[in-house]
Amino acid sequence: MRMTTASTCCYCGVGCGVLIEHDGERILDVAGDPSHPANLGKLCSKGSTLHLTGDLDARALYPELRLGKGLARGRTDWDSALEHAANVFAETIREHGPDSVAFYVSGQLLTEDYYAFNKLARALVGTNNLDSNSRLCMSSAVVGYKRSLGADAPPCAYEDIELADCLLIAGSNMAYAHPVLFRRLEEAKAKRPEMKIIVVDPRRTDTSALADLHLPILPGTDVALFHGLLHILMWEGWIDRRFIDAHTEGFDALKSLVRDYTPAMVADLCGISVDDLQTCARLIGSAPAFLSLWCMGLNQSTAGSAKNSALINLHLATGQIGKPGAGPFSLTGQPNAMGGRETGSLSNLLPGHRDATNAEHRAEVADYWGVEQLPKQPGLSAIELFEAVRAGKIKALWIACTNPAQSLPNQQNVHEALAACPFVVVQEAFFTTETCRHADLLLPAASWGEKEGTVTNSERRISHVRRAVPAPGEARADWAITCDFARRLERPAARPVARHEPHRHRGAAVRPCRRSVARHECRGHASPAFAGGPAGDGEKPSRQPDPPGAEG
Ligand code: SF4
């Protein structure tokens, strides 16, 4: 019998609703869900071929363990696998302290999976060594939003695309990367040809083909461009003085910074004409509603957070935020990078957009989780984490739903790190990934269509991911694996944290927490600010291109 289950596409941050057709055992087809507000029934070629991706021959079907680096892994049962992992982690923590272990997770996980890993690492083990592959793509946007707006919370929705009068797309080929959203933009432009589209990208792309104005700036000159635009907006009187006075701080410092970014200097630096620069400023400055969209071209950069802040500054200076069709809108690449940000799945964050370095935030989360306190010691970010593994400082590493042996930069170092790490656990749906070759313990995870939970898309819409068919073999949901391991690690006999008094448990079980995001935001930051300095990281104009980024 054919059945239909409404779920969410697992590929990108657009977060399209899909209808899964299945017979209770196998997924047979997928179609767009007309009732889902993110895509209104549309799917791109990736989403519409989701049912063809579940290659059973490549699936990890049961736990596999090896007891020595030179040995082959052999099949084992879940009990033995997780007991072994708990014993090794307990012993490692007992001997070398909680920061000798680490967890590297993924923007492809569901929010519930993320949350379980967070609680395991910070509350039970007592380490902030938990980072996500989202570090490679979204951390610049996180910093930009927090520094400029006070909260990592994109203040826009997809409907703003139809409502904008001028739309600037920077560092994003959204025709390819966010296709369903781009179709939405194409339709909006077809209905309202007076809507102006500006594309900032060194490349000529399918996205730039839709633009009224394409600025093919030299790589690495984004901050100079945004400062140059602000210079013209100020000079021409296209800023919103009342909004600035009411809602921002630090404007005078920003004004003196961009004074030097004259049109001639910026045009020369960016490799574009003064006319085009002036046109761009005029389109922004005269638009009733100005929306910006950006993605990896700004984020994957050594100056990514400065680029984010400099772009957000344009919105704050013109008052183009917090109204229909306006605002700075970062597009997320991964299906649940935003869920990771909500659950604190970067080493410097805590659930509910809290900061791991903030004592009050740590106390709030510790209180809710029922532990004395959370670790103060800063955790390692993705690149630092693998360097620490390579240096022998991390002795037990848990990797879930990501393939660092293919996707991280400096591959040689990553492979050396994984080969040298005394104990590598890989929690993964497919045994064929490069990282699985380094696994001392391979734990089979359920994949899309086989597990239940939530994801948060670019516009912070939380969608239900529903289970349509059972996972093959002995594969289990990621959060269930994590909680099972945590319970074993928590048991008094195995529990390693007794000698690390600060994180001692008050007896709370590892249980999901559904509170926090809204609560924190309500208390949050009503006034956008130029906080942290208008120049972002103090980036100076430079012709130096950014080094190549890595996949997020
Ligand atoms: S746009 Fe993204 S979320 Fe939508 S169907 Fe395509 S890959 Fe899936």
Q: What's the rounded Cα separation, in Å, for the pair 419 and 155?
A: 43
Give, in order, the Cα–Cα distances in Å from 276 to each of 142, 265, 310.
30, 13, 19
State whether residue 348 is helix, strand or coil. coil
Instruction: Tell me, in angstroms, the distance from the centre of ligand 1 to residue 13's CA.
Output: 7
Give, using CA atoms, the residue closest to atom 5 of ligand 1: 47
Mutate to test the pocket of ligand 1, among 7, 18, 44 (most ligand atoms within 8 A of CB): 44
Using the mean position of ligand 1's atoms as its centre, give its distance from the Cα of residue 334 in Å.
10
Mean pLDDT of 408-433: 97
Residue 549, class by beta-carbon neighbours within 10 Å (0-12 exposed, 13-18 middle, 19+ buried)? middle
Read off the pLDDT of each residue in 417-425 and give the average, rounded to a whole number: 98
Does position 505 have pLDDT exceeding 60, yes or no? Answer: no
Residue 393: which pLDDT band, with cuts at 50, 70 and 90? very high
Mutational pocket test of ligand 1: of 43, 51, 463, the residue with most ligand atoms within 8 Å of the beta carbon: 43
In the reported structure, the alpha carbon of residue 155 is separated from the centroid of ligand 1 by a whole-number distance in angstroms of 21
Mean pLDDT of 206-233: 98
Q: How far is the CA of 110 from the centre of ligand 1 (A)?
A: 16
DSSP β-ladder status, 396-400 and 354-355: unpaired
Residue 473 has pLDDT above 70, yes or no: yes
Under the banding of pLDDT at 50, 70 and 90, the label for residue 53 is: confident
Determine the pLDDT at residue 138.
87
- pLDDT, mean of residues 53-73: 93
DSSP label at 143? H
Is the pLDDT assigned to residue 322 strictly greater than 90? yes
Average pLDDT over residues 215-242: 97
**In 3-state terms, what secondary structure has residue 141?**
helix
- Quote the ligand 1 centre to 442 CA distance (angstroms): 29
Q: Tell me how far the alpha carbon of residue 183 lies from the centroid of ligand 1, in angstroms.
A: 11
Distance 7 CA to ligand 1 centre (A): 12
- Model confidence at 491, in pLDDT bands (50, 70, 90)? confident
Residues 78-134 have pLDDT tens digits of: 999 999 999 999 999 999 999 999 999 999 999 999 999 999 999 999 999 999 999
Q: Tell me which amino acid residue 81 is.
A: A
Reply yes or no on whether the pLDDT at 495 is more than 90.
no
Q: Ligand 1: which atom is nearest the Cα of residue 14?
A: 3
**199, β-bridge pairs:** 169, 214
Q: How far is the CA of 139 from the centre of ligand 1 (A)?
A: 22
Q: What is the CA radius of gyration of the chain?
A: 24
Confidence at residue 535, expressed as pLDDT on a 0 to 100 scale: 33
**Can you list the domains of the chain with their CATH numbers?**
3-53 (3.30.200.210), 78-134+336-493 (3.40.50.740), 139-331+524-531 (3.40.228.10)
How many angstroms separate the CA atoms of 414 and 550, rounded? 13
* Distance (Å, whole) CA 414 – CA 435: 10
Pocket test for ligand 1, best of 7, 10, 39, 295 (most atoms within 8 A of CB): 39
Q: What are the pLDDT digits (tens) for 253-284?
A: 999 999 999 999 999 999 999 999 999 999 99
Question: Which residue, 374, 332, 236, 297, is CA-closest to 548?
Answer: 297
pLDDT score at 333: 86
Task: Summarize pLDDT for 172-186 with one digit per residue, the tens.
Answer: 999 999 999 999 999
Q: Quick check: 345 pLDDT over 70?
A: yes
Q: Which residues contact 41 (CB under 8 A, 6 or more apart)?
A: 31, 32, 33, 34
User: Which protein residue has the closest C-alpha to ligand 1 atom 4?
Assistant: 16
The residue nearest atom 8 of ligand 1, judged by CA position, is 47
Mean pLDDT of the chain: 89
Residue 512 above 70 pLDDT?
no
**Residue 481 pLDDT > 50:** yes
Q: Whose C-alpha lies nearest to ligand 1, atom 2?
A: 12
What pLDDT was estimated at residue 30?
97
- Provide the percentage of residues in the chain whose pLDDT is more than 70: 89
Distance (angstroms) between ligand 1 centre and the Cα of 42 equals 9
User: How many angstroms separate the CA atoms of 76 and 451, rounded?
Assistant: 23
Nearest atom (ligand 1) to Cα of 178: 1
Ligand 1 centroid–CA 177 distance in Å is 9
Per-residue pLDDT tens digits for 450-465: 999 999 999 999 999 9
User: Which atom of ligand 1 is the closest one to the Cα of 18?
Assistant: 5
Instruction: Write out residues with Cβ below 6 Å of ligand 1.
Output: 9, 11-12, 14-16, 39, 43-44, 46-47, 178-180
Between 58-62, 200-204, 342-346, 475-479, the lowest mean confidence (pLDDT) is in 342-346
Backbone angles phi, psi at 462, to 5 degrees: -90, 125
**pLDDT, tens digit, for every residue of 516-551?**
322 322 222 223 334 333 333 333 333 333 333 333
> pLDDT band at residue 492, thresholds of 50, 70 and 90?
low
